[in-house]
Structure formats: C-alpha cells, structure tokens
Chains A and B, each alone.
Chain A
C-alpha cells in the first residue's frame, strides 16, 4: 500500500493503564507528582507494579476509503485504540499517523448541556465535533429534519427523552463531513427505527470515500459494513483479515474466555448470513422488483432430530409480519457439519423500508431432548433494507390480480360484509 492511499497507520502502539486508585499514600504521591511535573525519570516504557498493557504492540494500516471493523471481547482494548487514534489519549510507545480530518463518535451527543435547547445544543455539538458555525447553519434544517425532533427543537434538552437526545446527537454527527470516521458502538443505541437509520447512514458513508473504523459487538453489523476486520484480544492483534475469518476467531475467543465449548453450547447455530440478489451477489439492500436471496450456513455441533430453520420477518421494532419456515419444504441433515443454505423470495414480500430478520433453529436436541423452545435463536435481529424504485411508501407487498368481474350477487355480499352486525 503506497503512502498516498493510506489514511491511518498504527505502528507498534503500546498503552498502559493503572489498576485501582492513582495514589494510595502521600509517600507515593509526592515523589510521583514531582516526577510528573519535572517530566524526567518517568519510565514510559516500563510497567509499574500496578499497571498493565491495555494495548500491546498493535500495528495495522487502513487505506483511504476502506472500512475496517474492530472486534474483540470486553476489555480487549478496542475503545482504548479508538481513543488513541482520536488523540484523546497518547500512546506510551509507538507511533501512529492519521491523514485527514478525523471525527470520532465515541458518545452520541457528547457535550450536550441539559439547560440549552435542542437547537442551541445542535450548534454546540457541531462545534465540539469540529464543524464551523457556518457549516452547521447551512445544514441546520436538514439536521433537524433527520433527527425527527420536529417542534421540540426549541425545548431544553433536559426535557428530551434519552432516545430524542441520541437522535439529535446522531443527526449532528451524520452531517459531519470527515475524511476519517471512528465509530464506537454508537449504532447500538436508540430504538429499532433509529438503529435502521444509523445502519443506512453507515452504508452511505462506506460507499462514499470516507475511511471508517468501526467498533461493534454486533457481529452482523460488522460483517455487512466492513470487508476487513481486526480482532483484538487482551491488547493484542490476534487477527487481521477478511471479516468472516475475524468472526470465527472472535467466536473462538469468546468461547475460550467463557468456557462455552462443549455441553452448554447450542447444538446448532446459524452463521454467515448474506443478503444477495438473484445472481447470488451480496448486496446492501434488496430491490423490490427483483427476487431476494438469503444465504447462510447452518452449523450443527451435535446431532439434532428433525431440524428446521425459521426466518421471522418483523417491522422495525419487532412487530411480527411473517415467517419463512423450512419445515416440509427442505429436509435438513441433523448430523454435525456445516450446511450452506439458501432461501429465495420471489417476489420480495416487501416494498420499501427497513425490516428486521430474526433466525431460529427448531428441532429436538439429540443430547438434551426436546426442551420446548427453539434450539437456537439469533439474539440481535438483522436489519434489511428494501427499495422499490416505483413506490415511496414502506410496507408489505399486497399485490394481486385486478380485473373486472361480471358475476352478479357480489354487491350483495359486500353489503353484508360492511353491515354492523358483523363485528
């Protein structure tokens, strides 16, 4: 990768933290304070008795316009890395270079003052995120529109619900025009509609030439937004490559850390969900005019009797709309193994809008017997966007064959249907 197309270069960065309180006695404190102020004798390279490395020799590069995911178990150093990149913290060792205007979304609505109105906070937050007043002014109406706050915009923020605050904060952030955007978990706040908006916004960003570094625990989001992902564990880079591999590595780590390997693990899981078009090419959103295809892997760990897969389709917010069930349609093998599966929806049952997909595996666990519930179900719904170039309104597809009928008597039955006796 040549220097010109590199946006971020992290060169063997180390960062240490302290465990517990900073000082516990005056005897520690005074010489330490003196050393700090004088700035000599502080061995930034060595680990004190109560210190640990939050980042250990982390090194990678991100190209211009690339979107990189960072995943890892809790305490792996993801947020620390983002704080180093956004200059909030200084590394103890190593160097990093960032080329371009950086915006970090570590907390949506950072710096909101409860006593100020939404509009006042909009300008304040814009300035905090590095926008010029004129820039905010130019996009003011657009931001308010995006946030959906409407007439409450001139109300003090302390009377906002937390969702409104998050929406306003995100609306401001979404109208930033950074070269490099660092995002830490912010896409997992707010209600379902808001999350859908966030995901759409991230997709737009990724398609533009903005460089994105994206931290999330929602693996599906990472998988769909970032082709390449770095896995951190205990401050170290343990994987850097295609996201599918990163997710496998991450699952491995999680099960190693929590000791989940073996009996307590679900007998089967669904992994690697991809939304594709009719040519099996992965797409970011479905076109309502064409068939939609869902590809995924059924991974069976322990034998299952009569396995079947259900995909629940819900509106944003979880309102159930319908289900695609493999029962009686496809015989699934119940022996351990990885089985790639495919569901084609022709036509796509939706027109325009965001929908939530939730996956479930049914059947009887060969080891534990029938526990009454599904063997496995996805904890986080996936958001799917459907676009219909011909229609604007969101909803479920309700199309039928329209024709003129000539049988008599239909009028009478319609009359009966609308009469109040049928309630």
Chain B
C-alpha cells in the first residue's frame, strides 16, 4: 500500500509541488504583513507562554526563571506544528476533494501538499526560533546547550509530524463523510494545549504529570524541551548545572508516542485508501 501510494505521488510530483506552492502563496496573499506572519505566529505563542510563566512564578513568589523562558520557547514550536498540520490536512481534504471530483490525480497528493505547505513555514520559523534560543542562551545561566541530545530533536519532531499527518488523514477522511468531525478537530486544537506540557512542565504536576504523559503528544514535546534546555538545581545543592538530556523515565513514554505516531499514520493511510473510491460520490 505504502509503496504504491508513494509511486503514484512520485508520478504526480509536479502537481504535488504546484499544490503546495499554491497553499503557501495563498496563505499570505492579501495580508498586509504577508510572509512576516511566519514569524509572528511563533512570537505570539512564545509571548503568551512567557506571560503565563511569569504569572505562575509571581503566584509562587519567585522570579521568572531563564530556564522557564527557554523551555517555553522550545515547547511552543512543536505544538504549533502539530496543530497546523492537523488543522490544515483535516480541513484541506474537503476543499481539495472538490477538485478531485473533476479531475483525476492520486488523492493522497492533497493532504501531502497541505503538509508540505505547512512544513515550509516551519522550516523557516524553526530556524528563526533556534537562533533566538541561542541568543537567549547567551544571557541565561543555563539555556540551550550543544550536546549530542540535540540529535534527538529531529527524531522527536518527525514523530510529531507523522502523528499529525496520520491523525489529519483519519479526521480529514472522516470529515468527508460526516461534517461533525470538523468540530471534533476544532475542540481538540482549542483545548488540547491545556492537556499538553507546552506552558507548564510535567515535573511540576506531580502525580498528574504521569497522566498528562498519556497524551501522545506530551512525551514528544517534553522530550524536545529536555533535549534542548539544561537546568539549574534548586533547594539542596542549588546552583548545580544539569546538562540537557532526557530522563531515563521518559523513554517508555517516548516509545509509546512513537508507536502511536506510526500507528496513526498507518491507520490514516489505510482509512484514506479504503474510502478513496467513495470520495467522488460523497462530494
């Protein structure tokens, strides 16, 4: 199944690129800020995080730590990627299929093109955010540190993308048949951030931290933060600098996420493939 789907896409690669390019082009047309939005979205997300962290620190009577700031920067990006891919692939399938009922091309080109369109933005914004992280680290006692753990970041990010694509296919296909699915996705994207360690961190949540880790995105985002940001110990032996790195206790959760990601991708592809013959009819 995978090989056949890939071969079809390869045959229509020109169309894939044209559609992805259209998505990118259309997104910033008739917007005064244009392409600057690629940078504004992550900046807004990071600012929101910093405000929340500041409020939390104020309530605890302590100051805003550099560690919290760098961590929020590192965590907000993956969440944005996940939300954007899930949102566009699941919604974009419906509008794309209108075209597919008029002309033949491999249907999988549509979700793939919208994913590529989103990824284009994030390649740019992640580069920018990484630069910011490095800059922030220059001031912070502990910020981003260049350790071999950084190599884990692309792995975790890829898993996140695969999961988003897989879920996008499942929900997008569902949405073709039942428009209810659109609302489910909306709710997930609106409230999902409260159940994901983006603005708060798992180690602060005590017992509930473990519960949060059942959210398959949580281990990936937590993992990315741990791989990038070091921290300074507090309390007894305060001041000791811990290099970034994933806790040993994280591994089972990361593996759980990886299985979930691959599983949802395969399920998404299978459901997509199975219902493909009906696409032109339900449109």
Contacts and interface: CB of A to CB of B under 8 A. Distances in A.
Interface of A: 17-18, 22, 33, 36-37, 39, 83, 86-90, 102, 104, 106-107, 110-111, 113, 115-116, 120, 123-124, 126-133, 156
Contact of B103 (A86, A124, A132): A86
Contacts of A113: 22, 26
Given A116-B22, A123-B18, A133-B18, A128 B105 contact: yes
Interface string B160-178: 0000000000000000010
B280 A88 contact: yes
Could you tell me the dominant secondary structure of chain B's interface residues? helix
Contacts of B99: 110-111, 128
Contact of A115 (B30, B102, B282): B30
Contacts of A156: 29
B100 A88 contact: yes
Nearest to A91: B277
A89 B280 contact: yes
24 contacts: A17-B281, A22-B282, A36-B275, A37-B271, A39-B274, A86-B103, A88-B101, A88-B103, A88-B104, A89-B277, A106-B102, A107-B102, A110-B99, A111-B102, A115-B26, A115-B29, A120-B22, A123-B18, A124-B18, A127-B14, A127-B19, A128-B15, A128-B105, A129-B103
A131 B12 CA distance: 10
A86 B101 CA distance: 10
Contacts of B7: none
B104 A37 contact: no
A28 B180 CA distance: 17
A114 B116 CA distance: 21
Contacts of B22: 113, 116, 120, 124
B278 interface: yes
A27 to B, nearest CB: 15
Interface residues of B, number: 27
B18 A127 contact: yes
Given A90-B277, A133-B14, A128 B282 contact: no
B274 A132 contact: no
Nearest to A184: B102
Interface centre among A22, A87, A90, A127 (most CB of B within 10 A): A127
A18 B280 CA distance: 13
A89 B281 contact: yes
A128 B105 CA distance: 8
A392 B132 CA distance: 67
Interface of B: 12, 14-15, 17-19, 22, 25-26, 29-30, 99-105, 177, 271, 274-275, 277-278, 280-282
Given A39-B274, A115-B30, A124-B22, 18 more contacts: A18-B281, A36-B275, A88-B102, A88-B104, A89-B277, A111-B102, A113-B26, A116-B29, A120-B22, A124-B19, A127-B17, A128-B18, A128-B99, A128-B103, A129-B103, A130-B15, A132-B14, A133-B17
Contacts of B177: 22, 33
Nearest to A135: B14
Contacts of B103: 86, 88, 104, 106-107, 110-111, 128-129
Contacts of B30: 115
Closest 7 CB pairs of A and B: A127-B18, A87-B104, A110-B102, A115-B29, A127-B15, A90-B277, A111-B99
Contacts of A36: 274-275, 278
Nearest to A29: B178
A86 B17 CA distance: 22
Nearest to B99: A111
Interface centre among A36, A88, A126 (most CB of B within 10 A): A88
Contacts of A89: 277, 280-281
Contacts of A106: 102-103
Contacts of B26: 113, 115-116
A32 to B, nearest CB: 10
A128 B102 CA distance: 10
Contacts of A127: 14-15, 17-19
A98 to B, nearest CB: 11
A132 B14 CA distance: 6
B275 to A, nearest CB: 7
Nearest to A107: B102
Contacts of A18: 281
Contacts of A17: 281
A279 B22 CA distance: 55
A111 B281 CA distance: 18
Contacts of A33: 177
B15 A83 contact: no
B174 to A, nearest CB: 10
B217 to A, nearest CB: 25
Nearest to B30: A115
B216 to A, nearest CB: 22
A104 B282 CA distance: 20
A104 B104 contact: yes
Nearest to B271: A37
Contacts of A83: 280
Contact of A86 (B104, B274, B278): B104
Contacts of B17: 127, 133
A239 to B, nearest CB: 28
Interface centre among B26, B103, B278 (most CB of A within 10 A): B103
A106 B100 CA distance: 11
A331 B16 CA distance: 66
Nearest to B15: A127
